[in-house]
Amino acid sequence: MLVLVGDLGAGKTAFSKAYGAALGVTEPMTSPTFTLAREYQGRLPLHHLDVYRLEMMSEVLDLDLPDLLDSGGVVLIEWGDAILSTLPADFLEIRFTFGEGDDDRHIELRPVGARWCGREAALADALGTSIAGGEPC
């Protein structure tokens, strides 16, 4: 599960679209802000959620995260920091912040939980940089 965090316009949906394209999703991807969840087919199913408009934590139950996580696909949650207390113990937080220029973004990865912490070295190698500023899991 990937939890996307950042201000409005920071790049969460753009990242989701690129991630979908990398998985082979060919249909147009749109932000699920008003529908809460969309599913796309690629090499793996991609469940794209946007929890920005959830007003009550009980609404998270309607998303049925356990079933989505057991589906064998990828789950991307935009504004996931709003529901951290309801998330499973293992996920990768991807934080987007604005840079100096209008199109500049900074992206920080923070593995959470034993499974993602076990992948930290592989992520760092693949990206050629340290993860989460070098903070240990």
Ordered by where they begin, the domains of the chain are 1-52+70-100 (3.40.50.300)
**Whole-prediction pTM:** 0.85
- The confidence band for 56, taking pLDDT boundaries of 50, 70 and 90, is low
- The sign of the dihedral angle between the CA atoms of 107, 50, 14, 68 is positive
- pLDDT-based confidence at 14, cuts 50/70/90? very high
Rounded CA-CA distance 27/94 in Å is 24
Count Cβ atoms within 10 A of the Cβ of residue 117 and give its class: 0-12 exposed, 13-18 middle, 19 or more buried: middle
- Where is average pLDDT lowest: 44-48, 53-57, 105-109? 53-57
The mean pLDDT value for 102-114 works out to 93
| Location of structure tokens 């998303």 | 63
What span, in angstroms and rounded, lies between the C-alpha atoms of 43 and 45?
A: 7
Q: Quick one: which of 71, 15, 12 has its CA closest to 46?
A: 71
